[in-house]
Structure 1
Amino acid sequence: SDLTADHSQASNSLESYSSCSSNSSVEQHMYPTVYSLFFIVGFPANCLSLFVAWKLALQGNSMAVYLVSLCVSDLLYTVTLPVWIGMAQRWNISDQLCGVMYLIMYNSFYVGSGLLCCISVDRYLAVVYPLHFHWVREVRAAALLSAAVWLLEIFLHILLLHHMGALQSFNLCHQPMPLTQKDADVALVRVVLGFLFPLVVMTLCFQQIMQSLRRSRSILEEERRKVGITYVASFVPYQTVMFLRVVLEPGACGWARRLRDPYLVTVAMTTLNSTLDPIIYCLINESAKREIG
């Protein structure tokens, strides 16, 4: 009942669900094509942006420290795509491998949201309070905050999965359809903490930055705006459908079937973020272009 569970649910629906099943061809026809494209573009783009961000970080660029973590997060997200392609095509993927991919992809998804929050706050402090909070924008502080985001997200995910009883059996890829009330409650927590809270932080920071720069045209802030739009376009449809599932689906097979195809499509859309992040943040950044050149 979350982002990556649906990848596995998609390819195991016929086998795993007997009481309530939905025969959808979305995962069989859409997933291999879309995920193959995202992998072909996203893997080299994230590798290149990781190299560029690392070089900038070594030069003392605190923003680049967050970008290194973001690139690692997006790269981990991207390398799981071949497994989801295989599962969509009914390959024989073991539950253990599926569970590992589940954990990697799920943590990468929400770590990315946390890091985008850090980047937004960093830009907010740099633009709105340029003479203050220098210590927050130092490389060491950025590294510590990045590590804190990873540790916090992993800790929260462990708690949520434990609450669902998924860790005890490591049965992460076979979840009931429709959602149980417990799964719906956990999913609601994820929507609030993993999407709404980061979105509010980024929106407030962006508004303050735009007010400070209302008389200037900043290429860098235009890049930040594009990242924000990409984030919203990638995740709002998924989170909206997820919220509808939380409210309508528990115990209701009819709603589970009606929401399944929209959910599968919006799950695929979230991958767009990990593909465009490196292009917008690193590969079109002026300092990054100089590093490549």
Structure 2
Amino acid sequence: MADNLTQGGSGSNCTIGIREGQSLILILYAASFFISLPGNCLSIYVACLHVKRDNEIGVYLLNLSSVDILYTITIPFWFYDCLNQSSDMLLYNVITVVTYSSMYLSPAFLCCIAADRYLAIVYPLRFYELRTIRAAVVVCAICWVTQLTCHALLLHRLALFSNFSSSVYKEPPPMNAALFTENITRIVFGFFFPLSIFLFSSQRIYRMVANSTSVEDKEKRKLARLLLLLLLVYIISFGPYHVTLLARSLAEPGNCCFAQSIYPFYNVFFALTGMNCAADPILYCWLNDTARYDILQLYVSARNRLLRLCSWLRCQKGYPKESPGLSL
């Protein structure tokens, strides 16, 4: 494979090095995939238990885990595309739509969880109608419809519905100035708006708990660490990509030199967004006492079933259940 990629953009050819940062990108993709897939499968199990207990947080967690898995199953394609540029335009376009839809649905459901916890902790006796299974389903449906509608409008604006299988849906360097509005919309509503909700909800939740005399200091510190981790994971996963996208939108159109210098960073930061999918189940399941207990119960149940199966197989083969040497 060639080490450089020549793209047509803004009426000129611009050669971009595609080997730069390749090793780091492949490591990020591999780590995201192998952590995210089993983690989000467990997260779906925990979410289903929440829904079964009539807890609306389970609906949001179920949708969050589902979009994280959607993003995760696209990672092998990007891993392969990093090694060998894909020539299948239809597959590339489908994967791109799924990837970006999942990328922006994930923060949407994270915002839903943050807002739900804010209402539950700061206003426990009010807004009860907003903290029901039915309300959660409606809110999640709105998130899905809004995201898919925005993507459909973008595809229509780029005239890609008629030639979806013959025209690659991507941003060739240098970036086209016509994409400025779409990129700014993605940055504002896909990153900064969810970030503002996280900051507001976290600050109000911690203030409420910190002023409570019924909560022990140990629990207050635990909550503070969890809220800080949630913010850090979100900022580290999505911040560099959107800051780089903002820089590209402002300075790259018609500027091949700028595109050549920033594109390797852009590719690395795009791969970094996958780490959010790997971190979500850890933060929302493994660090939650109830979820940890549910996962432990699942492990114990699976282990007991496996032991019973092994015992049954031993009996079928004519082996004694216990070793004679262990009998007293």
Question: Structure 2-normalised TM-score?
Answer: 0.81
Partner of 1:37: 31
Tell which deviates more after alignment, 162-171 or 272-281: 162-171
- Counterparts in 2 of 1:252 and 1:232: CA distance versus 1, 3 Å: same
Give 3-state SS (helix, strand or coil) of 2:18's partner.
Answer: coil
| C-alpha contact 2:40 2:69 (8 A) present in aligned 1 | yes
Instruction: Pick the structure with greater CA Rg.
Output: 2
Partner of 1:162: 156
- Counterparts in 2 of 1:198 and 1:168: CA distance versus 1, 3 Å: farther
Paired residues for 1:47-86 under 5 Å:
47-86=41-80
CA RMSD, 1 decimal? 2.0
Partner of 2:82: 88
Distance in structure 1 (CA, Å) of the matches to 2:4 and 2:168? 14
Distance in structure 2 (CA, Å) of the matches to 1:172 and 1:130? 50
**Residue 93 of structure 1: CA displacement?**
4.9
Letter in 1 for 2:206: M
2:194 to 191, 198, 201: 198
Question: Which structure 2 residue ranges, 5 or more long, are not aligned?
Answer: 297-328
- Counterparts in 2 of 1:90 and 1:68: CA distance versus 1, 3 Å: same
Partner of 1:3: none
Letter in 2 for 1:14: L
1:269 to 272, 275, 278: 272
| C-alpha contact 1:125 1:133 (8 A) present in aligned 2 | yes
Distance in structure 2 (CA, Å) of the matches to 1:96 and 1:271? 23
- Counterparts in 2 of 1:109 and 1:92: CA distance versus 1, 3 Å: closer
Distance in structure 1 (CA, Å) of the matches to 2:126 and 2:292? 29
In the alignment, is residue 258 of structure 1 matched against residue 249 of structure 2? no
Give 3-state SS (helix, strand or coil) of 1:20's partner.
Answer: strand
- Counterparts in 2 of 1:223 and 1:64: CA distance versus 1, 3 Å: farther
Give 3-state SS (helix, strand or coil) of 1:80's partner.
Answer: helix
Tell which deviates more after alignment, 38-47 or 13-22: 13-22
Partner of 1:289: 292
| C-alpha contact 1:26 1:265 (8 A) present in aligned 2 | no
- Counterparts in 2 of 1:239 and 1:136: CA distance versus 1, 3 Å: same
Distance in structure 1 (CA, Å) of the matches to 2:56 and 2:91? 36
**Residue 175 of structure 1: CA displacement?**
3.5
Partner of 1:180: 176
**Residue 16 of structure 1: CA displacement?**
4.1
2:125 to 131, 136, 149: 131
Give 3-state SS (helix, strand or coil) of 1:184's partner.
Answer: helix
Give 3-state SS (helix, strand or coil) of 1:14's partner.
Answer: strand
- Counterparts in 2 of 1:285 and 1:115: CA distance versus 1, 3 Å: same
Q: Alignment identity in percent?
A: 33
Partner of 1:245: 248
Deviations 1:57-82 (A, max 9, x none): 11111111100000001000001000
Letter in 2 for 1:284: L
| C-alpha contact 2:180 2:249 (8 A) present in aligned 1 | yes
In the alignment, is residue 121 of structure 1 matched against residue 115 of structure 2? yes
Paired residues for 1:226-237 under 5 Å:
226-237=229-240
Distance in structure 1 (CA, Å) of the matches to 2:228 and 2:66? 22
- Counterparts in 2 of 1:238 and 1:150: CA distance versus 1, 3 Å: same
Give the number of the structure whose residues are more often helix, by fraction: 1
Distance in structure 1 (CA, Å) of the matches to 2:29 and 2:110? 23
- Counterparts in 2 of 1:193 and 1:168: CA distance versus 1, 3 Å: farther
Deviations 1:185-228 (A, max 9, x none): 21111111111111112211111112111234344564343222
Tell which deviates more after alignment, 202-211 or 60-69: 202-211
| C-alpha contact 2:174 2:252 (8 A) present in aligned 1 | yes
Deviations 1:27-61 (A, max 9, x none): 64333232122111111111111111112211111
Distance in structure 1 (CA, Å) of the matches to 2:151 and 2:159? 12
Question: Which structure 1 residue ranges, 5 or more long, are not aligned?
Answer: 1-10
**Residue 167 of structure 1: CA displacement?**
3.5
Distance in structure 2 (CA, Å) of the matches to 1:278 and 1:224? 15
Distance in structure 2 (CA, Å) of the matches to 1:175 and 1:241? 14
Partner of 1:210: 206
Give 3-state SS (helix, strand or coil) of 2:46's partner.
Answer: helix
